């Protein structure tokens, strides 16, 4: 009798320990915003945690079946999701599936990853699937950005490479035919294209440096008027689609990173060209204001959506303005500009011109 009492006490304690373990596991799932589910393969009925139901917008109480779950899956992915289930049901294959859903209540689009394993009966027949689900929307967005970034790099670098290839072919052709002429103009064009590539590559590298807080600036005194003149010559030689007006006040000695400031000015002028109609004017100017250098770039494009003004200099921000949705870009140029100016204790801002088309971007940095 004493032995039975002891066994009963042990069994009761085991049940209590198991319940506590389940509660601790569920608490861990909840903390990680992971849902859990047990799906009966034969009836396709599921026991789901509250978090799982929340992810999909399913009723928080009551019976759930597989068809209710797949209603949330985007239509073009349902066949693949059902195929994964069939593989598990027929062959006991583990589950690892990532797919987009539309929340059944809010309509919000999310990417979900489901990972699980099959439980089998004593006869070795798949009986149920135990799985956990997690929201991987952020990871998928990062992956998409990476792919878009690689595509953009390939496209952007292809343009100067094509130009360099063309100029080189001209040089080779002239050399082979014994042409006795000055090759300096063609060589200068090649140099400009190489400079363009170098700036692009430096910009791409800056993204990685900024990610880890490793961007450095190398300050030295120089005359901003010379940098301004270099930009003027380059854009006037390369751009025939817009009328770019450069206006300065002459020599201004500043203590700053020349290459970084040149990148900022290039980015702002290039954006003005990209987002304004062909044949329109772009004004680039600089002046002194309160012991600071103030540089402005004004275009005659579509301007800035007021509710997006505070987001312009965020990483990866792309305007939702439908008028510019075909303009290529990755949303990093203005972010890099803002970070470079921050390292100079400077500032950057943007505004629309009241009663006129276009926007004006202005940055300021201390002279020393």
349 shares a domain with 209? no
201 shares a domain with 121? no
For residue 208, being part of any structural domain is answered with yes
38 shares a domain with 109? yes
131 shares a domain with 79? yes
For residue 267, being part of any structural domain is answered with yes
185 shares a domain with 221? no
> What is the residue range of 38's domain?
32-135
For residue 11, being part of any structural domain is answered with no
End-to-end CA distance of the chain: 92
- CATH number reported for the structural domain that contains residue 48 in this entry: 3.30.450.20
Distance separating alpha carbons of residues 260 and 266, to the nearest angstrom? 10
- pLDDT, residue 117, reads 92
- pLDDT, residue 215, reads 66
- pLDDT, residue 202, reads 73
Residue 76 has which token pair? 């073009």
367 shares a domain with 222? yes
The per-residue pLDDT for range 97-124, each reduced to its tens digit, is 999 999 999 999 999 999 999 999 888 8
For residue 4, being part of any structural domain is answered with no
For residue 25, being part of any structural domain is answered with no
Burial of 4 from C-beta contacts in 10 A (0-12 / 13-18 / 19+): exposed
Beta-ladder partners of 294: 287, 364
150 shares a domain with 109? no
- pLDDT, residue 201, reads 76
242 shares a domain with 336? yes
- pLDDT, residue 366, reads 94
Among 198, 215, 232, the domain-final residue is 215
Helix (H) or strand (E) holding 95: strand 95-102
Among 172, 194, 215, the domain-final residue is 215
For residue 10, being part of any structural domain is answered with no
Among 108, 135, 162, the domain-final residue is 135
- CATH number reported for the structural domain that contains residue 231 in this entry: 3.30.565.10
What Rg value do the Cα atoms of the chain yield, rounded?
Answer: 31
85 shares a domain with 53? yes
For residue 20, being part of any structural domain is answered with no
249 shares a domain with 148? no
* Cβ neighbours, 10 Å, residue 154: 9
343 shares a domain with 288? yes
- CATH number reported for the structural domain that contains residue 186 in this entry: 1.10.287.130
For residue 23, being part of any structural domain is answered with no
> How many CA atoms are closer than 13 Å to the CA of 299, on its beta-carbon side?
20
Residue stretches of the chain with pLDDT short of 50: 18, 20, 22, 24-25, 27-29, 31-32, 322, 325-328
Q: For the chain, what is the domain count?
A: 3
368 shares a domain with 234? yes
């Amino acid at each position: 009798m004493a032995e039975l009492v002891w066994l009963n006490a042990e069994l009761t304690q085991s049940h209590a320990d198991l319940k506590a373990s389940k509660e601790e596991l569920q608490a861990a799932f909840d903390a990680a915003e992971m849902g859990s589910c047990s799906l009966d393969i034969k009836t396709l009925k599921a026991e789901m945690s509250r978090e799982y139901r929340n992810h999909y917008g399913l009723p928080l109480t009551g019976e759930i079946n597989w068809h209710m779950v797949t209603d949330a899956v985007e239509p073009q992915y349902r066949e693949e999701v059902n195929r994964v289930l069939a593989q598990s049901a027929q062959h006991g294959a583990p589950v690892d599936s990532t797919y987009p859903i539309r929340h059944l209540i809010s309509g919000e689009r999310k990417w979900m990853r489901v990972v699980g394993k099959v439980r089998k009966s004593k006869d070795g027949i798949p009986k149920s699937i135990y799985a956990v689900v997690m929201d991987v929307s952020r990871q998928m967005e990062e992956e998409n950005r990476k792919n878009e970034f690689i595509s953009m790099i390939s496209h952007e670098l292809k343009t100067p490479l094509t130009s360099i290839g063309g100029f080189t072919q001209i040089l080779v052709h002239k050399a082979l035919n014994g042409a006795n002429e000055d090759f300096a103009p063609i060589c200068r064009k090649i140099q400009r294209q190489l400079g363009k590539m170098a700036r692009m590559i430096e910009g791409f590298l800056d993204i990685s440096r900024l990610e880890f807080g490793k961007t450095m600036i190398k300050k030295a005194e120089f005359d901003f008027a010379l940098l301004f003149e270099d930009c003027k010559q380059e854009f006037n030689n390369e751009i025939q689609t817009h009328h770019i007006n450069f206006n300065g006040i002459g020599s201004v000695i500043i203590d700053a990173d020349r290459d970084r400031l040149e990148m900022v000015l290039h980015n702002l002028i290039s954006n003005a060209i990209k987002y304004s109609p062909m044949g329109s004017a772009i004004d680039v100017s600089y002046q002194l204001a309160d012991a600071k250098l103030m540089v402005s770039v004004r275009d005659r494009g579509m301007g800035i959506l007021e509710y997006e003004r505070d987001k312009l200099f965020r990483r990866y921000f792309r305007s939702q303005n439908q008028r510019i949705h075909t303009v290529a870009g990755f949303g990093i140029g203005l972010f890099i500009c803002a970070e470079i100016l921050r390292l100079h204790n400077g500032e950057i801002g943007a505004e629309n011109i009241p009663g006129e088309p276009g926007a004006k971007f202005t940055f300021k940095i201390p002279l020393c």
